[in-house]
Copies of this chain bind each other. A is one copy, B any other.
Amino acid sequence: MSAAVGVSPPDRRGKERTVKRTTIGDVAKAAGVSVATVSRVLNGGAVKEATATRVWEAAAQLDYTPNALTKSIFAGRSTTIGVVIDDLTSPFYLDLMRGIDEVAAKHDSLVMFANTFHSAEREVAHVQTMDEQRVRGLIITSGESTDTRTRRMAAAGTPCVIVGRSLADPPRGLHSVRLDNIAAGRMMAHHLISCGRRSIGVISAGNRPGQLERTEGLRQGLTEAGRPLPEDAVVVAIDNAEVDGAVDALQDRGTSLDAIVCLAGRRTVAVHSALTARGLRIPDDVGFLTVDDFSWAPALGITVIAEPSYQMGKRAAELIVDDPDQPEQLTFEPQLIARASCGENI
């Protein structure tokens, strides 16, 4: 009680009106015990029943809400899981998030979220911020722009999970979760062939590893079926605005297409509408096959190669929570959900 007698702190923030929150000290004073005791009852230490009751009552009385921030500084890190995603618009990410959120909730942690909108710059900035927030772990669906940073984070004790690609020689604490994209590509090839489609046009979302692998798998499958994919049958659409031009490019090649494959879930709508805008009927005029299941696919009869995104999110979050000693590279198997858009199996 000798400290700061009568010294009213000079209102240390003009407009910031940071209302003074009740602290463990306030509760201690009200209950007539020391802060140590309050801390003990709050965390389930050995305290006499009667004292504990007094403390709980004081806490309730004063509307005490513990400060998780301070706890975390003590623990060295927070309990929050960081998620950096490049575009939450994609159906894939929504389900991924659901999986992550579920695991987080089960471990009463929260999810801290940031969207990069495909900007490498924002990606780096967000990862940095997450690190500054001392997240318990980081899940990121990114390119390589942050590889050195995630390696450092992993080394510093923040487990990281890269979604969508595998890692060469991952250190401890750096995991990955991805689809078996080669298998997905081969699956596509197989289905198209079995539906009698022979001349395929492919729309890829870019040159990220996943897209490349899917193309490769498609190539393999088609080649094995005696229908190798011509170089110019694969066109890239970096964003939805480019899809229309991509479809034009495919059509301008001379050969008439009997199927269009879309390699990225976040391009499905655009590709589909480019097709219908040209008066092409699916599957009569052209077959349509895409990746990632979505809620309207049944209604539209669109056949997809589904990615178990919810499971992937769950496992990614579990990797964070469990933090296994060995780096894990998890691969998930795609699943064909055949509907009408590629025509009948023959």
Contacts and interface: CB of A to CB of B under 8 A. Distances in A.
Contacts of A65: 128, 131-132, 156
Interface residues of A, number: 56
Given A19-B155, A88-B94, A112-B111, A69 B129 contact: no
A339 to B, nearest CB: 13
A198 interface: no
B112 A112 contact: yes
Contacts of A63: 152, 156
Copies of this chain in the oligomer: 2
A66 interface: yes
A18 B76 contact: yes
- The 6 A-B residue pairs whose C-beta atoms are closest, nearest first, are A19-B157, A18-B76, A68-B132, A296-B296, A113-B113, A269-B295
A129 to B, nearest CB: 6
B98 A110 contact: no
B101 A97 contact: no
A300 interface: yes
Interface string A306-333: 0000000000000000000000000000
A346 interface: no
A110 B94 contact: no
A48 interface: no
A70 to B, nearest CB: 5
Interface of A: 17-19, 21, 63, 65-70, 72-73, 75-78, 80, 88-89, 94, 97-98, 101, 104-105, 108, 110-115, 122, 125-126, 128-134, 152, 155-157, 269, 272-273, 276, 295-296, 298-300
Contacts of A104: 114
Contacts of A111: 112-114
A155 B300 CA distance: 50
B129 A115 contact: no
28 contacts: A17-B157, A18-B77, A18-B157, A19-B156, A19-B157, A63-B152, A65-B128, A69-B69, A69-B133, A73-B73, A80-B112, A80-B133, A98-B115, A101-B114, A104-B114, A105-B115, A105-B126, A108-B125, A108-B129, A110-B113, A110-B130, A111-B114, A269-B295, A269-B296, A269-B299, A272-B299, A273-B298, A296-B296
A165 to B, nearest CB: 24
A110 B129 contact: yes
A15 to B, nearest CB: 9
A200 B170 CA distance: 60
Contacts of A88: 94, 97-98, 101
Contacts of A21: 76, 156-157
A344 to B, nearest CB: 20
